[in-house]
């Protein structure tokens, strides 16, 4: 099996071990939760990018050059937080992309390429692949929730920055 994430990205203590997830409903809930977090975090980063395009024109209206420099300086942490959100989202995507192991055949090709000698070996391989898929889903969930927290912060900071630009541009 392939290592899917660094130890710092592994699920925390409150997350059940892959063996503790015993029903399809639990897996579906895990995937649904991470999908929602991923979608909202991605939407927030996209909204910030679109807002920057809109605010660029407004920023040009600010008459004082030092004030413009301060506003740009205040924008840097917002951009860093949005970039961190994007990096976490990319990590969440990578976490599930290697769920079965890199280069392992799937579907009909897997059945044709691997015919275990006994039933127990086939069952063990199926359990290992399922455990890998559930572990990957858990890592994705943790990274997506972290991205969501960063998205909340960067979105709120961008809103405050945008309000400051609007107020200063209207003076």
Report the pLDDT value the prediction gives residue 7, as an integer from 0 to 100: 42
The per-residue pLDDT for 132 is: 83
Say what the pLDDT of residue 2 is.
Answer: 37
How far apart are the C-alpha atoms of 142 and 49, rounded to whole Å? 24
Given this model, what pLDDT does residue 4 score? 41
The pLDDT assigned to 107 comes to: 55
C-alpha span between 34 and 29 (Å, rounded): 9
Per-residue pLDDT of the chain (171 residues; tens, 9 = 90+): 333 444 444 455 566 666 667 777 888 888 899 999 999 999 999 999 999 999 998 888 888 899 999 999 999 999 999 999 999 999 998 887 766 555 555 555 555 555 566 788 888 888 888 888 888 888 999 999 999 999 999 999 999 999 999 998 887
Torsion angle, alpha carbons of 59, 65, 67, 73, to 10: 80
In order of 100, 102, 105, the CA distances from 110 in angstroms are 11, 13, 5
Q: Provide the strand spans (E) within 3-90.
A: none
**pLDDT of the residue at 62:** 87
Question: What pLDDT, on a 0 to 100 scale, did the predictor assign at position 6?
Answer: 44
pTM: 0.76
What's the pLDDT score for residue 84?
97
């Amino acid at each position: 099996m392939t290592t899917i994430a660094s130890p710092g990205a592994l699920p925390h203590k409150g997350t059940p071990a892959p063996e503790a997830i015993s029903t399809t409903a639990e897996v579906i809930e895990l995937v649904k939760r991470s999908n929602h977090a991923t979608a909202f975090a991605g939407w927030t980063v996209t909204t910030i990018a679109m807002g920057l395009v809109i605010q660029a024109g407004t920023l040009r209206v600010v008459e004082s050059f030092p004030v413009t420099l301060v506003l740009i300086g205040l924008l840097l942490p917002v951009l860093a937080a949005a970039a961190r959100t994007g990096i976490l989202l990319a990590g969440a995507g990578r976490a599930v992309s290697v769920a079965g192991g890199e280069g392992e055949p799937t579907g009909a090709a897997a059945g044709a390429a691997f015919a275990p000698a006994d039933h127990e070996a086939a069952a063990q391989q199926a359990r290992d692949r399922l455990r890998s898929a559930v572990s990957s889903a858990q890592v994705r969930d943790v990274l997506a929730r972290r991205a969501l927290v960063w998205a909340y912060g960067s979105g709120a900071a961008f809103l405050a920055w945008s309000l400051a630009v609007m107020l200063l541009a209207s003076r």
